[in-house]
Chain A
Amino acid sequence: MTIKILGTGCPNCKRTEQAVKTAIEELNIDATVIKVEDIMEIMQYNIMSTPAVVLDEVVKIKGRVPSVQEVKDLFQPEYKINL
């Protein structure tokens, strides 16, 4: 699973990255986290507000910082983990 965090480097984007990493750690799953800071690349996802969380090329969250629990819920269908 590849998780991309889209954001130009603002504090909210860093908090989002932190939430995603914490979720991955706590669930102990194997995932690649990529931070996308290049605006031209970000715009290919057709979003208008950052930060955004992209799960296997699908935009799941945009324009706000998710909670750790919310990120875990995103991973749920992928891994069939009991949370």
Chain B
Amino acid sequence: MFNWTQNLADWLVYSALGISEKSHLGAALNFFIYDSIKILILLFVIIFLMGIVNSYFPVEKVRNFLSRNKLYGAEYLMASLFGVVTPFCSCSSVPLFIGFVKGGIPLGVTFAFLVTSPLVNEVAIGMFLGMFGVKITLIYVISGILLGMISGFILQKMKLEKHLTPWVKDVLVNAEREQNAFESEKTPLKDRLPFIWDEVKKILTGIIPYVLIGIAIGGLMHGYIPDGFFEKYMHRDNPFAVPMATLLAVPLYANAAGILPVVQVLVAKGIPIGTAIAFMMAVVGLSFPEAMLLKKVMTLKLILIFFGVVTMCIIFSGYLFNLIL
């Protein structure tokens, strides 16, 4: 599907610019041009498609669905799935959290949503498709959903309600299951498109600099670092590689779009894919600013437990992927 981009990059670098195919510069530049075009196209398509899906699943609808129906355990799956299709901004995490609590949704189910929503989003999916292909993307998406479900389930079993801040406890006491059905907007797709289009433009312009810088760094590494270079440091048999990669990723919250191209090169140069996925999940899923915002609704202890459980689950899935892939 993207052969033409490769041809274009080959022609531009080797013929038009006359840089040798064997040179480091040639390899780096070729990688940069090929990857930039491919990733930007994929990001555009995925962000647009997800935008359409998003516009049919406003959070209020999700909340009311989870609040109204007794699902006998399936609510963790539903919350996680909704997390995938609902747009997430860390600045909305607090109102969202309160909204869920108000609707009488169990804390663990809310956590399932809060884990999956940032983890599996349109930018991550677009980048993964471009960088690693369909199979790895599916694995990433499915494990993101499972991760949310399992973390949510564990957190629910820990009975953490007592660690909420006092005013949230008051909300909890007055919580009631939503009885009235959600009045969905009957706006036709045609009228939604301008808004969706605006969102696409906003998201893309926001991430393009990071994507290009990331691909540029990836390109340099691709051209100048020999294949298999990292294998000796982050080898499959090194038991500390996965936790190290996960912990390393936590402070890198803001630049998921810029980090993936680098991770792709790391994988090409010998880092096992499970370690790389754990790293990515920690970058996207464990964000420091989100933790700061959540301080309004949770005690520090609860935030630490929440992040701790998610981190453990990420490390575990990293090991699992290294075993099975």
Contact = CB atoms under 8 A, between A and B. Distances in A.
A47 interface: yes
Interface in A14-50: 39-40, 42-43, 46-50
Given A48-B99, A49-B59, A64 B91 contact: no
Given A43-B98, A48-B60, A48-B63, A7 B91 contact: yes
A65 B297 CA distance: 25
Interface residues of B, number: 22
21 contacts: A7-B91, A8-B91, A8-B293, A9-B91, A12-B89, A39-B94, A39-B95, A39-B296, A40-B167, A43-B98, A43-B171, A46-B99, A47-B99, A48-B60, A48-B96, A48-B99, A49-B58, A49-B96, A50-B91, A63-B58, A65-B202
Contacts of A42: 95
Contacts of A3: none
Contacts, number: 48
Interface in B23-77: 58-60, 63
Q: Is the interface of A mostly helix, strand, loop or mixed?
A: loop
B195 interface: yes
Interface in A35-83: 39-40, 42-43, 46-50, 63-65, 67
Contacts of B58: 49, 63
A6 to B, nearest CB: 9
A50 B97 CA distance: 12
Q: Is the interface of B mostly helix, strand, loop or mixed?
A: helix
Contacts of A49: 58-59, 89, 92, 95-96
Contact of A10 (B89, B195, B198): B89
Interface in B83-120: 89-92, 94-96, 98-99
Contacts of B195: 64
A5 interface: no
A8 B96 contact: no
Nearest to A13: B91
Contacts of A8: 91, 94, 293
Contact of B198 (A7, A63, A67): A67
Contact of A63 (B63, B92, B167, B293): B92
Nearest to A65: B202
Interface string B220-261: 000000000000000000000000000000000000000000
B277 to A, nearest CB: 28
A5 to B, nearest CB: 13
B21 interface: no
A9 B92 CA distance: 10
B201 to A, nearest CB: 11
Given A8-B293, A10-B89, A64 B95 contact: no
A50 B95 CA distance: 8
